[in-house]
Amino acid sequence: MIEVSHLSKRYGTHLAVDDASFSIQKGEVVGFLGPNGAGKSTIMNILTGYLSFTTGSVQIDGFDIVENPEQAKRRIGYLPELPPLYLDMTVKEYLSFVYDLRKVKLPRKPHIEEICRLVKIENVYDRLIKNLSKGYRQRVGIAQALIGNPDVLILDEPTVGLDPKQIIEIRSLISRLGKNHTVILSSHILSEVQAVCERVIVINRGVIIADDTPDNLSKNLSNDHSLVARVIGPVREVTRLLATIKGVERVTCLGKKEEGSNDYLIEPDRETDVRRPIFERLSDRKWPLIMLRTNELTLEQIFLRLTDAADNGEQLFKQAAKTETPKSSLSEAEKQMVAELASGAPTVFDAAASDADSLDDASADPEDPESETIAQKEVDD
């Protein structure tokens, strides 16, 4: 749907965009992240045809933005950071005006009414835009971007200046729009990008320094892919059971966190997703799993690591992708907890040889706080 190849933009001696290349497929929701002045808005303005570029090429659905600007722009709906609203118009008058500007062929009244229902502004349809709250003005701005039913929506900071309730409403709207449109979203609210976007492009000083899903970025940048599970059940049996799950390399009981439950640090290999097997095996034993969280990086931590590394001239993302994952290590607090709980050296079991079905005969106390570690490895008979 969108193809950008070796794109550069110069303002005199300042290089705002430096050899950027990426492609976005139909139906993707992609987030642009970067510090102020990174080049996000410049790239967005180039994609819409609003700005020229120095070198490179941009294609929208196969149409070159320079050679076939009219065809390319017909496929784009754009919401800049400051919505292009005429405050003395009513919502109805404004959307009808945009309809005429774009020479839309769809039936006017049903098309505009459908958009108003989608963005939930039908109750302010006849009100002056200057009398609307900022949240409603943003909705009207998104509505104008949808006029003509474009394939691509480019939204530059769509939630800037909104209160938390309005942010949630706009975020929900963007998620709905992503089902039928290709969406490019620029935002400084990292949790918003993580909640809405399937893929993230990180830009720093005009250079694309990362392009992947948030999950993959976290895996490539983090040395810790462990999980922490909170389970109600006997410590020894739960620890043994978790260690028998395919892909789990090590399990450590971290002790009691809530009444009747214990936390377990589960260290899987890099390639295996063990979340579903954990749930299924514990469910079979009727041991409630009341919490499961990952120790991987948040999008905020990813963003800071990438931009800090780029500022220092490092290629952190590429290096991380080639680095083998070392064994996950406990935090200092967790190490201290394990040391306090263990009465001696942790017992190491042959997890591969242990039979999960034999756990029925065990009689350990569910409240037993003993720390136990199980590693999956070969043990000589």
Q: What is the pLDDT of residues 314-331, one digit of tens each?
A: 655 543 333 333 344 444
Compute the average pLDDT of residues 294-300.
73
Residues 206 and 269 in one domain: no
Q: Where are the alpha helices (DSSP H) in the chain?
A: 40-47, 69-74, 91-101, 108-119, 134-146, 164-177, 190-196, 214-221, 235-243, 275-284, 299-311, 316-322, 332-341
Extract the tokens encoding 225: 């892919």
Range of the domain at 91: 2-219
Residues 178 and 272 in one domain: no
- 223: confidence class by pLDDT, cuts 50, 70, 90: low
Residues 198 and 262 in one domain: no
pTM for the predicted model, two decimal places: 0.66
Residues 60 and 15 in one domain: yes
Residues 242 and 208 in one domain: no
Residues 262 and 115 in one domain: no
CATH number for 193: 3.40.50.300
Strand pairing category for 152-156 and 182-186: parallel
pLDDT of the residue at 107 = 94
**Sheet hosting strand 182-186, strand order edge to edge:** 76-79, 152-156, 182-186, 29-33, 199-204, 207-212
Residues 197 and 231 in one domain: no
Q: Among candidates 219, 230, 284, 279, which has minimal Cα distance to 253?
A: 230
Tens-digit pLDDT profile for residues 246-255: 999 999 998 8
Residues 241 and 278 in one domain: yes
More confident residue, 65 or 341: 65
Residues 225 and 351 in one domain: yes
Residues 240 and 190 in one domain: no
Confirm whether 381 is domain-assigned.
no
pLDDT of the residue at 353 = 39
More confident residue, 145 or 319: 145
pLDDT of the residue at 224 = 64
pLDDT of the residue at 324 = 38
Confirm whether 169 is domain-assigned.
yes
